């Protein structure tokens, strides 16, 4: 099975998430958010170079700060293409699946991100729960990499509440 074929079997589900007006208001006026905005503005006006890891991060800064962010450059996160080349899959595949407790027949979905809230991990968990209710996710495992300890506990509890405790693995 290819991933695309398997995804089609699970059903066409497009998940989009937009913050509610209340959430946008709370975020806009939170102390932490205002401090981050102040810090970003200070960095952008310092005259130094400002580098972000993705085009979407650059667009966010341009939308927020206009001309102040015109000089922001994108420097993508590097990947060792020799180590992570498909020809090496057989070298690590079985060992890593065993280490993570993943069965060979499971389709593994991967979520990677440091800000699980902004990236919609809760929406992904709820979508996986819906697929499970429909009997379409019995052999699907979600591997979550990246959220901090507090977020990890929060999302592990949500996964448990949704009946996904055995289908969601959190890795450091």
Q: For the segment 62-75, what is each residue's pLDDT rounded down to a tens digit? A: 888 888 888 888 98
pLDDT at position 125: 95
pLDDT of residue 24: 58
Collect all residues with Cβ–Cβ distance below 8 Å to 81 and sequence separation of at least 6.
none
More confident residue, 150 or 143: 143
Average pLDDT over residues 8-35: 57
- Tell which residue, 73, 71, 42, has the closest CA to residue 57: 73
R_g over Cα of the chain: 20
Predicted structure pTM score: 0.58
Summarised one tens digit per residue, pLDDT across range 117-144 is 878 899 999 999 999 999 988 899 999 9
Mean pLDDT of the residues in the chain: 80
């Amino acid at each position: 099975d290819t991933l695309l074929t398997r995804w089609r079997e699970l059903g066409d589900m497009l998940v989009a998430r937009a913050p509610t007006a209340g959430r946008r208001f709370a975020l806009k006026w939170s102390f932490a958010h205002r401090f981050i905005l102040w810090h970003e503005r200070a960095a952008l006006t310092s005259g130094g170079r400002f580098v972000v890891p993705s085009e979407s991060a650059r667009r966010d800064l341009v939308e927020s700060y206009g001309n102040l962010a015109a000089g922001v450059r994108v420097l993508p996160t590097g990947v060792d293409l020799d180590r992570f080349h498909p020809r090496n899959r057989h070298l690590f595949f079985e060992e890593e699946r065993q280490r993570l407790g993943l069965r060979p027949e499971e389709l593994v979905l991967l979520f990677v991100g440091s800000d699980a809230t902004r990236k919609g991990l809760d929406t992904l968990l709820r979508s996986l729960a819906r697929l499970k209710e429909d009997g379409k996710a019995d052999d699907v495992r979600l591997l979550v990499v990246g959220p901090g300890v507090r977020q990890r506990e929060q999302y592990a509890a949500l996964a448990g509440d949704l009946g996904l405790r055995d289908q969601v693995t959190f890795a450091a």
